[in-house]
Structure 1
Amino acid sequence: MTKTLSRLALACLFLFADGIEAQDATPTKTLTIFTTRGFIAAIQSIAPIYEKATGFSLIIKESPPTGNTPMAITNRLARGENADVVIMEDWELRKLIDQGHLQKTSRIDLGKSFIAMAVRKGAKKPDISNMKKFKKTLLNAKSLALSDTSSGTYLSRILFPQMHISERLRIKTRTISAEPVGEAVARGEAEIGFQQLSELIHVEGIDVIGLIPDQVQKMTMYSAAISTGNVQQEEATTLLRYLSSKAARTAIKLSGLTPVH
Structure 2
Amino acid sequence: MTEKTTLRVFSVLAIRAAVDRLLPLWQQRYPHITLDITWGPTVVIEKNIAAGQRVDAVIVTVEALDRLIAAGEVPAASRIELVDSQIGLAALPGAPKPDISSVAALKAALLNARSVGYSLAGASGIYFRQLLENLGIADEVNRRATTIPEGFTARLLVEGKADIAVQQISELLTVEGIAIIGPLPPGAEKTLSFSAGVFSDAERPEDAARLLAFLRSAEARGIFEASGLSWRE
TM-score, normalising length: structure 2: 0.89
Provide the secondary structure at the position in 2 that maps to 1:87: strand
| 1:162 equivalent among 120, 126, 134 | 134
Counterpart for residue 115 of structure 1:
87
Aligned residue number for residue 26 of structure 2: 50
Q: How many positions carry a matched residue from both structures? A: 232
Verify: 1:257 aligned to 2:233, yes or no: no
Tell me the percent identity: 33
Counterpart in the other structure of 1:73: 45
Residue in structure 2 matched with residue 185 of structure 1 by the alignment? 157
1:210, 1:66 → 2: CA distance? 23
Question: Are 2:36 and 1:64 equivalent residues in the alignment?
Answer: no
Shift of 1:212: 1.3
2:125 to 129, 132, 152: 152
Q: Name the amino acid aligned to 2:221.
A: R
Check conservation: 1:29, 1:55, Cα contact below 8 A: no
Q: C-alpha displacement at 1:75, in angstroms?
A: 4.2
Question: Please, which moves more after superposition, 75-84 or 125-134?
Answer: 75-84
Q: Hey, what's the Cα distance between the residues in 2 that align with 1:58 and 1:260? A: 26
Distance 1:163 1:202, change over 3 A: same
SS at match of 1:209: strand
Paired residue type of 1:40: R
1:31-65 residue CA offsets vs partner (Å, 9 max, x unmatched): 22221211112222222212322344232323324
Q: Which residue of 1 aligns with 2:147?
A: 175
Contact 1:26 1:51 in 2 (8 A): no
Which whole-Å deviations, capped at 9, do the CAs of 1:122-176 have from their partners, x for residues lacking one? 322112122232221112112111111211111212x222222223223122322
Q: Distance in 1 between matches of 2:80 and 2:158?
A: 35
Q: 1:245 aligns with which of 187, 212, 217?
A: 217
The SS at the match of 1:111 is strand
How far apart are the structure 1 equivalents of 2:108 and 2:184?
13
Cα-to-partner distance string for 1:14-45 (whole Å, 9 max, x where unaligned): xxxxxxxxxxx988333222212111122222
Secondary structure of 2:187 counterpart:
helix
Deviation of residue 221 (structure 1)? Answer: 0.6
Q: 4+ runs of 1 displaced by more than 4 Å?
A: none
Helix, strand or coil: the match of 1:236? helix
TM-score (norm. length: structure 1): 0.80
SS in 2 for 1:214: coil
Give me the whole-angstrom Cα distance separating, in 2, the residues matched to 1:184 and 1:52.
35
Cα deviation 1:158-205 (Å, max 9, x = unaligned): x22222222322312232223211001211111211000010012023
CA distance in 1 between counterparts of 2:144 and 2:138 reads: 10
Q: Does 1:207 find its partner at 2:179?
A: yes
1:119 shift after superposition? 1.3
Mark the CA change 1:125 to 1:26 in structure 2 (over 3 Å): closer, same or farther.
Answer: farther
Q: Unaligned regions of 5+ residues in structure 1, if any? A: 1-24
Is the CA contact 2:154–2:165 (under 8 Å) kept in the aligned structure 1?
Answer: yes
Equivalent residue, structure 1, for 2:71: 99
C-alpha spacing 1:79/1:170, structure 2 compared with 1 (3 Å):
closer
**Following the alignment from structure 2 to structure 1, what is the Cα–Cα distance between the partners of residues 3 and 219?**
20
Are the equivalent residues in 2 in contact too, given 1:26–1:52 (CA < 8 A)? no
Equivalent residue, structure 2, for 1:11:
none
Note the C-alpha offset of 1:88. Answer: 1.7
Aligned 8 A contact 2:91 2:179 in 1:
yes
- What is residue 134 of structure 1 aligned with on the other side? 106
